[in-house]
Structure 1
Amino acid sequence: MNISGNTIFIPGSTSGIGLALALALQAKGNQVIVGGRRTDALDRIAAEHPGLDTVRIDTADPASIAAAAKEVLERHPELNVLVTMAGIMRAEDWHRPEGFLETAAETFETNVLGPIRLIGAFIEHLQTRPDATIMTVTSGLAFTPLRITPSYNASKAAIHMLSESIRLQLADTTVKVVELQPPSVQTALMPGHESDPHAMPLDDYVAEAVGLIESQPDATEIQVERVKFLRYGEARGDYDRVVAVLNGTEPLNT
């Protein structure tokens, strides 16, 4: 993905990594469209950040995705980058069905079906552009499980394999598939996470990630250094230790 000269739609970018990434990419010379459910947040973002366009979208609602795609393409027919940012992360207890069934369904609706439907809404258009990119968003937890979030871990693992697979299918088109793999980052994805001392500061994460996009335009996975501990545990042969460290049963410096 080229770092500048794009028109980029980022659903799920009214806060956290999504908004920080939108602003960083705008600063690199891209037209960026921010998508989100809350019109008050979209209005505030438009007022505070001139040049950003905004579109209301609920990625858990197929009709909302279809309407937003139509609106985005009418206003920005040059769109060539889709970033499937929207996602939810919730703790679950799998000892009893009421501890996970509803949350699991909501997680897969948003984190798996949402990106699939977004790609479906834009894929034909993207193939008409001379240089297009689909950027999926996974997590270090796609590769190493956090005990309290089974469905989130599984949803991100699914998107990782989806990214690998559609990259193969779209190899005969102008559409690249890039996977953004954040580590734990200080955002509001879960309660109290903004101040978690074990998570990476948001500004540091986005600066490093955008730097990698700029320096490695042909990369298929955007991995800051901090996520590699989780990403490559199995390849290094220390997967069991990585799982233990992540879940607090073993200290990092052993």
Structure 2
Amino acid sequence: MKLTGNTVFITGGTSGIGRALAESLHKRGNKVIVAGRRKALLDEIAQANPGIDTVELDVGDRTQIERVAKQLIEQHPALNVVINNAGIMPFDDAGGALDDAQAIRLVNTNLLGPVRVSAAFVEHLKKQPESYIINNSSVLAYVPLAATALYSATKAAIHSYTMSQRFALRDTSVRVLEIAPPWVDTDLVHKSGDPRAMPLDAFVAETIQRLETATTEVVVEMAQPLRNNAGPNEHAFVEQFNQALAENPIPVA
């Protein structure tokens, strides 16, 4: 995709990967609109980046999505890129009791959120000469982390949905891309400087570079072994991956 001259809407853009992508695209000459739940953080990003617009949005709320989409289409008729980045990553126990309220919030945010956001904008995007839906999944779509079993499952679902969405829109002006990050050092879980995590600036720089020529997926080099593991022999690697993290867990505080 061309990396300048777009009008970009990004969800979950007040911190971590979302904010870094928003700021990078803003610096490249795109009109960027950032959505997030926390007004204080929206105000902070707008003040730090004159020209970025912001809007309050909880992607777990269908009514809010519909209202915000209508508002932004009216305010920004050239809007041609939607980045579904918002997500949450709570720990859970697939071998124990279910926190039902947490599970519902997770599925509403990570799975139904991107589906609903895409649906709210897609007819508008079809009217643009060149437009994009970009879904942020995770390498955990391919190598699930047992400690975040339902999160991993929602990302696997987003990968699957993205492939169907790409096919469904094949005869339109809308291209569908997927970004599958590795463990990036952000506050999604706990920003810790862990050497196993990819630095945020390095991740965004490589992702932006790969976006320019991407036709399906954007997978940074560090993430490719996990992306390529899926298949009939994947089980041993998944077992080894989870055993290694069980012995040396991701810091959470």
1:212 aligns with 2:210: yes
**After superposition, what is the alpha-carbon deviation per residue over 1:57-78, rounded to whole angstroms, capped at 9, x for unaligned?**
1101111111211221122110
Task: Name 2:169's counterpart in structure 1.
Answer: 170
Task: Name 1:43's counterpart in structure 2.
Answer: 43
Aligned CA RMSD, in angstroms, stands at 1.8
Does the 8 A contact of 1:185 with 1:205 survive in 2? yes
TM (norm. structure 2) is 0.92
1: distance between equivalents of 2:116 and 2:3? 25
- Which SS does the other structure have where 1:103 is aligned? helix
Does the 8 A contact of 2:182 with 2:222 survive in 1? yes
Task: Name 1:74's counterpart in structure 2.
Answer: 74
31-40 vs 240-249, which deviates more? 240-249
Task: Name 1:185's counterpart in structure 2.
Answer: 184
**Structure 1 runs (4+) greater than 4 angstroms displaced:** 235-239
- Which SS does the other structure have where 2:185 is aligned? coil
2: distance between equivalents of 1:118 and 1:194? 31
1:221 aligns with 2:217: yes
Specify every segment of 5 or more residues in structure 1 that has no aligned partner in the other structure, as ranges.
none
**After superposition, what is the alpha-carbon deviation per residue over 1:17-56, rounded to whole angstroms, capped at 9, x for unaligned?**
0000001111122111111111111111111110111111
**After superposition, what is the alpha-carbon deviation per residue over 1:90-115, rounded to whole angstroms, capped at 9, x for unaligned?**
11023333x44332221111000000
Does the 8 A contact of 2:62 with 2:116 survive in 1? yes
- Give runs of aligned pairs for residues 130-145 of structure 1, distance below 5 A: 130-145=129-144
Q: CA deviation at 1:249?
A: 6.8
1:32 aligns with 2:32: yes
2: distance between equivalents of 1:142 and 1:199? 17
Q: CA deviation at 1:236?
A: 9.5
1: distance between equivalents of 2:118 and 2:48? 29
TM (norm. structure 1) is 0.92
Does the 8 A contact of 1:143 with 1:231 survive in 2? yes
2: distance between equivalents of 1:187 and 1:4? 26
2: distance between equivalents of 1:125 and 1:119? 10
Query: Residues 52 and 247 from structure 1, CA distance in 2 versus in 1: closer, same or farther, beyond 3 angstroms?
Result: farther
**After superposition, what is the alpha-carbon deviation per residue over 1:133-184, rounded to whole angstroms, capped at 9, x for unaligned?**
0000100000001110010010000000000001111001000000011000
131-140 vs 237-246, which deviates more? 237-246
1:197 aligns with 2:163: no
Specify every segment of 5 or more residues in structure 2 that has no aligned partner in the other structure, as ranges.
248-253
Does the 8 A contact of 2:94 with 2:146 survive in 1? no
Percent identity at matched positions?
Answer: 43
Does the 8 A contact of 2:144 with 2:238 survive in 1? no
**After superposition, what is the alpha-carbon deviation per residue over 1:111-136, rounded to whole angstroms, capped at 9, x for unaligned?**
00000110111011000000000000
Q: CA deviation at 1:235?
A: 5.0
> Alignment length, in residue pairs?
247
